[in-house]
Amino acid sequence: MSYKSNGAGWDLTQVQKLVDDLAESLGRSVAVDNPALELVCASAQIGAIDDRRIAAIIDRSSPPEPVPWMLGYGLQDAVSHVRLPANPDFDMLARVCFPVRRNNRLLGYLWLFDEPPVTDEEIEAATALSGTLAGLLGGGPHGAVGRAGRARTLTSDILGGVEGAVARAVEQGYLPEDGALAVQVVRLEGPAARLDAVGQGDDDVLQRLLFELGRVHPLRPFLVSDGVGGVDGKDVLVVVERSRSAVESCRVATDLGQAVASTGARVEAVGSSEIESSGVAEGSMRRARFLSEVAALAGLGEQPLSWENAGAWRLLYGWQLTGATVQALSPEAHRLTMAGNADQWRTALSYLDHGRNTTATSASLFIHRATLHYRLQRIRDVVGGVLDDGWSSSAFHIALRLHALLEGRRRDGAAVPTPPALPGWADVSAPRNDTAGSLT
């Protein structure tokens, strides 16, 4: 059983044959994973099997929960076989891992179940096969390195509005034939030293990700590049995907998240925007990049914030997400936040979030309505009549919402969730727009 490439990546037919031959000669099951511990191919089942292998074969997706435990045995740095004990917590049998490397670069893992215990002769045979697989899984214009480079070029062409770029990506197997075309800007956190070329430096998290994500994905392929550079010292990936539903879009996020986790990095934030036509593709990337900054401040992690569901956050597009913007948007909001009483600006924000409904506002703040009216009067003493002027209060509201986001980051020294989504603001749990894309 293998996930065959369609010409853009590996020729898995030969890999599958070698795996099947080894399984037959050893009389036990053999499997090959990529560096993200996702199944590439597996032999027919012979002997013992566990839930992780079953899930990988049936669902084409291995459970991510055991990954940190597995990596704890030094798989990423191993140059010879590693024995993993059984783990009842994950319903995993004991297994032996054989790293597949070429020029010291990790290309994948070959696995044998260690029940009955693998013999020295079997270890020798599996080690020999891992060396053969290294020549098939990496390097050259048809390997993962070459694919990552071509993916970068196609991503740049699509976002630059190059005619026929999407059709070319579909033809070469880098994008599905249908679905809504969208761009994601993914901000990463982790120990990364940026280099100039794919395939150089095992310590470069971003390049390791590009190498890994350049491999063929079994369900919905997507493009990935590092074309937008770093933001605030973070590494950034640009993903172009084509999904028919929120479920498929989430599958892309899962593939990406597993690859990120395999490097020791983590996803800090994801912003996305649909690409409706080639003429606005570059603008879609800018919008996605802006929303990744909002999502980073909000502490959303792997949960994407899309332009289609971003609500009033879109009104801040083009502005820097700083305290200076709070002051520029609404001097009254700046004056209130600088007055030294956090209860006042939080009360004003809640009051506007709840459409000036005093009952709902007092309930959300857990205060008596009389206390709310007293606070509102004190707020008016500071800001004047801005609460009673529709146009001015709109800017006041947006400025306070931005201040709340910035204040949460400053207070905890890390991203914190935004207040609950309310009408007019982003409901980040809302499904994405599933309208089919028109670019072909």
Supply the CATH number for residue 128's domain.
3.30.450.40
∠218-222-223 over CA atoms, to 5°?
A: 135
Same domain, 93 and 35: yes
Same domain, 107 and 157: no
Confidence band of 206 (pLDDT split at 50, 70, 90): low
Same domain, 152 and 277: yes
Residues with Cβ within 8 Å of residue 419, at least 6 apart in sequence: 349, 350, 353, 404
Judge whether 405 lies within some domain. Answer: yes
In the predicted structure, residue 105 carries a pLDDT above the cut 70 = yes
Task: Note the pLDDT tens digit of each residue in 147-181.
Answer: 777 888 898 899 888 889 999 999 888 898 899 99
Cα 294 → chain centroid: 15
Judge whether 318 lies within some domain. Answer: no
Residues with Cβ within 8 Å of residue 291, at least 6 apart in sequence: 185, 271, 272, 273, 305, 306, 307, 310, 313
The whole-number pLDDT of residue 65 equals 85
In the predicted structure, residue 411 carries a pLDDT above the cut 80 = no
The DSSP code for 82 is E
Task: Note the pLDDT tens digit of each residue in 69-86.
Answer: 999 999 999 999 999 999
**What pTM did the predictor assign?**
0.67
Contact 111, 93 (CB under 8 A): no
Judge whether 20 lies within some domain. Answer: yes
The whole-number pLDDT of residue 322 equals 95
Judge whether 3 lies within some domain. Answer: no
Mean pLDDT value of segment 377-392: 95
Task: Note the pLDDT tens digit of each residue in 115-148.
Answer: 999 999 999 999 999 999 988 876 544 455 667 7
The whole-number pLDDT of residue 440 equals 25
Same domain, 177 and 289: yes
Please indicate whether residue 348 or residue 340 has the higher confidence score (pLDDT): 348
Same domain, 163 and 218: yes
The whole-number pLDDT of residue 199 equals 38
Residues with Cβ within 8 Å of residue 278, at least 6 apart in sequence: 158, 161, 162, 163, 165, 166, 439
Task: Give CA–CA dist 361/345, Å, rounded.
Answer: 13
How many Cα atoms within 13 Å fall on the side-chain side of residue 379?
28
In the predicted structure, residue 5 carries a pLDDT above the cut 50 = no
Same domain, 271 and 153: yes
Q: Which long-range contacts (CB under 8 A, 24 or more apart) does 69-75 make?
A: 70/37, 71/262, 73/97, 75/99, 75/109
Cα 220 → chain centroid: 15
Three-state DSSP at 360 gives: helix
Confidence band of 8 (pLDDT split at 50, 70, 90): very low
Task: Give CA–CA dist 361/440, Å, rounded.
Answer: 49
Task: Note the pLDDT tens digit of each residue in 37-65.
Answer: 888 889 988 988 888 888 877 765 667 78
Same domain, 81 and 159: no
- The alpha-carbon radius of gyration of the chain (Å, integer) is 26
Same domain, 121 and 44: yes
Look up residue 428 and give its amino acid. V
Q: Of 90, 120, 137, which residue is a domain's last?
A: 137
Judge whether 438 lies within some domain. Answer: no
Please indicate whether residue 437 or residue 109 has the higher confidence score (pLDDT): 109
Work out the percent of the chain whose per-residue pLDDT is above 70.
78
Work out the percent of the chain whose per-residue pLDDT is above 90.
48
Same domain, 157 and 234: yes
**Is the backbone peptide bond immediately before 68 cis, with ω within 30 degrees of 0?**
no
The whole-number pLDDT of residue 201 equals 41
Q: Of 85, 120, 137, which residue is a domain's last?
A: 137
Judge whether 427 lies within some domain. Answer: no
Mean pLDDT value of segment 185-212: 56
Judge whether 317 lies within some domain. Answer: no
Please indicate whether residue 199 or residue 290 has the higher confidence score (pLDDT): 290
Judge whether 435 lies within some domain. Answer: no
Residues with Cβ within 8 Å of residue 116, at least 6 apart in sequence: none
According to DSSP, the residues that pair with 181 across neighbouring strands are 242
Per-position b or e across 69-99, b if 16+ CB within 10 A of its CB: ebbeeebbeeeebbebeebeeeebbbbbbbb
The whole-number pLDDT of residue 429 equals 35
Rounded-to-5 percentages of helix, strand, coil across the chain: 45, 15, 40
The whole-number pLDDT of residue 195 equals 32
Q: How many domains does the chain have?
A: 3
Same domain, 84 and 188: no
Confidence band of 337 (pLDDT split at 50, 70, 90): very high
Confidence band of 227 (pLDDT split at 50, 70, 90): low
- For residue 407, the enclosing domain spans 323-412
Residue in this structure with the two tokens 């879109």, named with its chain if needed = 314
Range list of β-strands (E), 212-350: 223-225, 235-243, 266-274, 305-306
Please indicate whether residue 56 or residue 398 has the higher confidence score (pLDDT): 398
Please indicate whether residue 421 or residue 94 has the higher confidence score (pLDDT): 94
- Looking at every residue in the chain, the average pLDDT score rounds to 81
Q: Please report, in angstroms and rounded to a whole number, the separation of the first and last CA atoms in the chain.
A: 32
Same domain, 166 and 31: no
Same domain, 46 and 190: no
Q: Of 291, 311, 331, which residue is a domain's last?
A: 311
Task: Note the pLDDT tens digit of each residue in 249-306.
Answer: 877 877 787 778 767 778 899 999 999 876 668 889 899 999 999 999 998 888 889 9
